A = this chain, B = another copy of it.
Amino acid sequence: MTVTVSTESSVIDQQLAEARAAIAALPTLERVFFTACGGSYAVMMPNEYFVSSRSTSLETAAFNAAEFTARASRRVNSQSVVILCSHSGTTPETVEAARHARAAGALTVAFTHELGSPLAEAAEYVIAYQHGEGKSEAYVAPSLMLRLVAGLLDDHEGSTHGAAVDAAVASLPSVVPAVKAKYADAADAWGFSYRREELIYTMASGSNYGPAYSFAICLLQEMQWVHSAAIHAGEYFHGPFEITDVDVPFIALLGLDETRAIEERAVKFLTAHSERTLVIDAKDFGLDHLDESVRGIAAHLIFGVVLRTFADALADHRGHPLSVRRYMWRMDY
């Protein structure tokens, strides 16, 4: 993968403002669809939750990009915004989804690290997020996507999410280093203790299902070759809980949104029956400075950072760098 310099924050602010203005200028907006693949798809899940749980007037759904194009829903039209994301901007399914949505008349907004990539070319509006060395946590994809969605809700419905979300995102550059430092020792101890595990489940609900899904399929399955599944905490008691045992490892998230009670119920059972449970509670993230109305939806931004700290520690103790692949980028598929 080519390493490129991240786009300047002032340029990104301008891109975000232009996309938001274009959405606000639509004569009619009825639907917001999110589509991408893998880790980029996971970034969209909290945003789908945000719209679904807050909006009166907007339909929303999130799909894997190949599934989105194959479904060919006739509801993707000129009254729809389709938000896409691909880090390299070269994911064929996501590029095709952008073309499909645009041909259907939808307004397309692409998040990518690579200006000039096929996805950036295919979509009408592009937001070139930061990544890697020198990035600001306020300008990574999850932060920017949440800002865009809060903005479009406000523009369309007269709600007032935007200012609180913007403030939450602006605080990330100071919050994130503190959170990383706070979890450093716990992550190292966990990485050592779990280094021989062949399977680790993750569990969450609501706006934090996305980070749990991302950790399961990207960090564990893809980057560590550790078996995993992201279990929805509300589904746990309807099947998956029967595989709980003293020696079956779980990472369970406790968020701050309307579904926290669902997660709490699952965690209570889990910790009573398993001795290999890591519970990460967003109440420990130090988010009390955030407006209460957005604390729940902002927590997923921190879960991503905290989970990455645990993944780094696991990779270190397994001697299996997160960058190693056996198939991805190494062959055609």
Contacts and interface: CB of A to CB of B under 8 A. Distances in A.
A241 B225 CA distance: 9
B59 A59 contact: yes
A55 B38 contact: no
Interface string A298-333: 000000000000000000000000000111100001
A205 B67 contact: yes
A78 interface: no
Contacts of A289: none
Interface in A38-78: 38-39, 41, 49, 52-53, 55-56, 59, 61, 64-67, 70-75
Given A61-B61, A72-B53, A238 B259 contact: no
Contact of A242 (B39, B73, B225, B241): B225
Contacts of A206: 67, 70-71
Contacts of A232: 64, 67
A187 interface: no
A258 interface: yes
A243 B258 contact: no
Contact of A217 (B38, B67, B205, B239): B239
Given A225-B242, A242-B225, A243-B221, A234 B75 contact: no
Interface string A230-258: 10111101111111100010000000001
Nearest to A58: B75
A261 interface: yes
Nearest to A260: B70
A191 B81 CA distance: 47
A100 interface: no
Given A52-B71, A205-B66, A325-B242, A227 B227 contact: yes
Interface of A: 31, 37-39, 41, 49, 52-53, 55-56, 59, 61, 64-67, 70-75, 91, 93, 199, 205-206, 216-218, 221-223, 225-230, 232-235, 237-244, 248, 258-259, 261-262, 265, 269, 273, 325-328, 333
